[in-house]
Amino acid sequence: MASLPSFLLLLPALAQPAPPCATRLSNFAAMTVPRTRGGRAVRVMASRDAAAARVSRAISALGLLAMLGGGMVEPPTAHAVLSNPNAGMARSASAALRRAVPVVNDKVGNIQAELERAQYLLRFPNRKPWSQMNTIAQQCLAKIELDKIGVIDGVPKENAKEAEEIIQRLTESLDQMQGSLAGQDSDKTATYLSRALKATSELEVLQAPGLPYAVPPRYAQLPRLQGRAVISVNL
């Protein structure tokens, strides 16, 4: 799509004299056209200058539409990617933050990867694979119930109680997700799936505490964000 400066550059062209093709068209418009009225031939003359001006403006308008038409009809690339169900990119700030957390515990990482795949399948517009998503929920729940200690492994002792609460919320969300999948309810499935993914992200954060790099000594006394934050901007 043409930018605003490119559009402004087109405006002087509208004030230029008529191009040769417009002049030829105006000459054609000025030709006599025989008509019959009461047995007498009437010669109809069109104003050459007025016709040339109208044709010139029409040609300029067509050129402008040809330049801007592509951007008006086709959506921007970013919008096309976000609206495409086959795109595996993060579609929200929460998803981007969730995927940015380093995976310390492979068991939790596998659960998150399966839930991400279920979220991808849920975006299918028609004939959603309900049974496949239900299998994913069952397998994730089974992994937690069979090896709860292994799933929590890596959490510091001082955060063990918080990890237990996160596991409880995760199992409840997976149970509710199975119920919504059985009823083929897309809205409820999306809600419970988002809660389950949020719980896995919180567990991964507990398993990977601290900064991934050392702060230089000259900046050690300055305020800094040790972790993640959600910023709200009102425009």
The rounded distance, in Å, linking the Cα atoms of 163 and 169 is: 10
Provide the 8-state DSSP code for 213. S
pLDDT tens, residue by residue, 107-138: 999 999 999 999 999 988 888 999 999 999 99
Neighbour count for residue 112 (Cβ, 10 Å): 22
Q: Residues near 90 by Cβ (< 8 Å), separated by ≥ 6?
A: 96, 98, 99
Q: Where are the alpha helices (DSSP H) in the chain?
A: 4-14, 20-29, 48-73, 77-82, 93-100, 106-122, 130-146, 148-152, 160-182, 186-207
Token output for 176: 């509710």
Neighbour count for residue 85 (Cβ, 10 Å): 12
Contact assessment for residue 106 and residue 206, using Cβ atoms and an 8 Å cutoff = no
- Helix, coil or strand: residue 212: coil
Report percent pLDDT > 90 for the chain. Answer: 35
The rounded distance, in Å, linking the Cα atoms of 208 and 215 is: 17
Domains of the chain: 93-207 (1.20.120.290)
The pTM of this model reads 0.56
pLDDT tens, residue by residue, 193-224: 999 999 998 898 888 866 445 667 787 788 87
The rounded distance, in Å, linking the Cα atoms of 102 and 4 is: 43
